Amino acid sequence: MNLDKIDMDKAQVIMDAIIAYSAQIVPNIIGAILVLWIGFKIVNILNRIVATIMEKNDWDLMLESFISSLIAIILKVIVIISAAWMIWVETSSFVAMLAAAWLAIGLALSGTLQNFAGWVMILAFKPYKIGDFIEAGGYSGSVKEIHIFNTILLSGDRKQIIIPNSDISNASMVNYSTEKRRRVDLQVWVSYSDDLDLVKSTLKEISEAESRIIQKEGITIAVSELWDNAVIFNFRFFVKSSDYWGVRGDILETVKKTFDKKGISFPFPQRDVHLYKESK
């Protein structure tokens, strides 16, 4: 038996198989490369179109960047899967691998992803913006920065408060800066011995003398409660949101000084004690 001839025959068979396989796979590889090249070009064109539409509609820059990136990633993954299918990669296994990887990452970073989702919701619906005074997560302060995973507030006493975005997007929040006007609600306590008409006219004079009060919004001066040691007036008026704390403090000071001048007293908690002499 001629061993050299057998080896040559085997080599020839292998070469023929390689050539046959190459003739079959090379066009697919070339096609896959073309799909990748053309697909990525189309993705870039679509991405520019979406960005142009968002710019014309004055979308937030951070939200525009996020959506553009997300669309580009999704479309590019579709192009890659299509190219892999052309060269006979088992796409079902490929997709299953991507899904498993995404699930593992999602489980490991569930809290982080919730904060990221909260950031997207904040950018999309804009419940607040930088500079707004808000109350959220049990804290209040001015919004200093809005990050991907958290929002930073600056409290009135200059404390920096970091709140996860998921806590803000999934819970109640109060934005004190949304409206241009705010109502100041004050309670004024006077004694039963005071003249109620004098109290009302005095409060009216005080409100009319304060230029920062928006007179056309109306002013409420009315008795709200009759307590055991005081008559309570509701004193309400509207001011610009930016003037809220300044006007509130100035009005309280003016009320005290004016009441002192007019002899209107502020009640103190008191009890009447009656002594009875026991008869023998």
What pLDDT, in 10s, does the model give residues 247-267?
999 999 999 999 999 999 988
Q: What is the residue extent of each domain of the chain?
A: 12-108, 127-175, 181-262
3-state secondary structure of 65: helix
pTM for this prediction: 0.56
pLDDT for 109:
47
Asked whether residue 76 carries a pLDDT value surpassing 70, the answer given is yes
% of the chain surpassing 90 pLDDT? 35
| Domain covering 12-108: architecture | Orthogonal Bundle (1.10)
- The phi and psi torsions of 148 (rounded to 5 degrees) equal -60, -40
Nearest to 272 by CA among 242, 229, 243, 241: 229
Q: Give just the sign of the alpha carbon dihedral 88, 92, 95, 101.
A: negative
| Domain covering 181-262: architecture | 2-Layer Sandwich (3.30)
Distance CA(270)–CA(239), nearest Å, equals 36
CATH top-level class of 127-175: mainly beta
Q: What is the pLDDT of residues 178-219, one digit of tens each?
A: 889 999 999 999 999 999 999 999 999 999 999 999 999 999
Contacts of 213 (CB under 8 A, 6+ apart): 207, 219, 237, 238, 239, 247
